[in-house]
């Protein structure tokens, strides 16, 4: 599979996270490009026609369910879940992303500045029926404490729905790098003409599944979905190769046990 990041709105990836020269974008600084990111990802291929529809499909009937969206960003997934009858709460570490989410959802929306990998989530035990963590965990080196905290805020039998960078994509991008090591790497992006740097942690599939089960989850679904209906008509050049129907991400539905 050949992944053309330039045509997907990304610039060439650069392995390892190095010091950023003065004037360049700071890694994972969503406050620095919140509006550009929100505009770019509202209806693009990867977000609008792949990850978001895949999450909604995996979530199924959510009417009446209490759902936490971790890394909610500007709130498009929260809005879609609310339209389906869910009782939604969003958290994000970016103040500017939360401002955009509040503009979308209204002043009364349950939005909190919080994230994974730091202080515990600001909710009591068993507060949610589902938690959605879409394209967030791959920013973290250590998954133990974040997954334990997510398990804590879920009711017994609750679901954790996760989307992460597909571990095979790292090996395709960096064929000389080791697959089995947990390793940091960075990529440069362009969102609506604004440059940004995102830094990730690659981990092999078995490290993901081991972390899930150690945190008290049962793996119910592992999915490599195809794009949503209409994607091939809107993005024919990006999707003309059969292998590109797997767009770089891996999805899990986990049940709290």
3-state helix, strand, coil in the chain (%, to 5): 30, 30, 40
- pLDDT above 70: residue 237: yes
Please state the rounded mean pLDDT for residues 147-173: 95
Give the E-state strand segments of the chain in sequence order: 10-14, 66-70, 87-92, 110-113, 128-134, 154-165, 183-191, 194-202, 217-223, 249-256
pLDDT at 243: 55
How far is Cα 37 from Cα 39, in angstroms, rounded to an integer? 5
CB atoms within 10 A of CB 102: 16
How far is Cα 15 from Cα 199, in angstroms, rounded to an integer? 9
pLDDT at 24: 41
pLDDT at 244: 54
**Mean pLDDT, the chain, whole residue set:** 88
**Domains recognised in the chain with CATH numbers:** 28-166+204-256 (3.40.50.150)
Sheet holding 110-113, edge to edge: 110-113, 87-92, 66-70, 128-134, 154-165, 249-256, 217-223
pLDDT in tens, 208-232: 999 999 999 999 999 999 899 999 8
Q: Which of 220, 226, 221, 217 is nearest to 249 (CA)?
A: 226
């Amino acid at each position: 599979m050949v992944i053309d990041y330039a045509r997907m709105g990304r610039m060439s990836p650069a392995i390892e996270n190095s010091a950023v020269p003065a004037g360049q974008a700071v890694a994972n600084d969503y406050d620095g490009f919140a509006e550009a990111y929100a505009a770019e990802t509202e209806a693009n291929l990867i977000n609008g026609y792949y990850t978001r529809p895949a999450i909604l499909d995996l979530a199924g009937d959510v009417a009446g369910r209490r759902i936490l969206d971790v890394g909610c960003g500007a709130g498009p997934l929260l809005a879609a879940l609310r339209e389906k009858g869910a009782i939604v709460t969003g958290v994000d570490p970016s103040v500017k992303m939360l401002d955009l989410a509040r503009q979308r959802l209204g002043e009364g929306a349950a939005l909190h500045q919080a994230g994974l990998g730091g202080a515990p989530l600001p909710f009591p035990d068993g507060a949610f029926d589902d938690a959605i963590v879409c394209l967030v965990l791959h920013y973290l080196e250590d998954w133990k404490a974040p997954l334990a905290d997510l398990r804590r805020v879920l009711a017994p039998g609750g679901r954790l729905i996760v989307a992460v960078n597909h571990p095979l994509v790292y090996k395709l991008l960096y064929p000389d790098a080791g697959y089995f090591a947990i390793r940091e790497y960075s990529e440069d992006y362009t969102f609506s003409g604004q440059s940004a740097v995102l830094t990730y942690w690659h981990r092999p599939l078995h490290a993901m599944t081991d972390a899930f089960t150690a945190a008290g989850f049962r793996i119910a679904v592992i999915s490599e979905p195809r794009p949503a209906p209409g994607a091939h008509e809107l993005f024919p050049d990006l999707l003309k190769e059969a292998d590109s129907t797997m767009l770089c991400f891996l999805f899990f539905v986990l049940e709290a046990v």
